[in-house]
Amino acid sequence: MAQWIAACAADDIDPEDVIPFSRDGIDYAIYRSPDDGYYATDGHCTHEKTLLCDGLVMDDVIECPKHNGRFDYTSGKALGAPVLTDIRTYPVKVLDGTVYIEIG
Partner 1 sequence: MGRERLARYSLAGPENQAAVDAGLAGGDWFRSAVPRKRMKELMRRSDYPAIRDTVIWFGLIGLFGGLGIAFWGTWWALPFFLVYGTLYGSTSDSRWHETGHGTAFKTRWLDEGLYQIASFMIMRDPTVWRWSHTRHHTDTLILGRDPEIAAMRPARLVRLLANFVGLVDVTIAFRLMFVHAAGRLSADEADFVPESERPKVYRTARIHLAIYAVTIGLAIGFRSWLPVVLIGGPRLYGAWLLNVYALTQHAGMGENVLDHRLNTRTVKMCAVNRFLYWNMNYHVEHHMFPMVPYYRLPELHEEVKHDCAPVYPSIWAAYKEIIPAILHQLRDEEYYVHRELLPGAPPFNVPTPMNDGRGLPLAPAPAA
Residues that bind partner 1 (CB under 8 A): 17, 47-49, 54-56, 63-68, 70, 81-82, 84
Give 75's contacts (C-beta < 8 A, 6+ positions apart).
86, 89
Q: Are 53 and 20 in contact (CB under 8 A)?
A: yes
Nearer to partner 1, 66 or 94 (CB): 66
The SS3 of residue 74 is coil
Nearer to partner 1, 37 or 65 (CB): 65
- Beta strands at 56-58 and 38-42: parallel, antiparallel or unpaired: unpaired
Nearer to partner 1, 6 or 81 (CB): 81
Report the nearest approach of partner 1 to the CB of residue 82 (Å).
5
Report the nearest approach of partner 1 to the CB of residue 47 (Å).
8
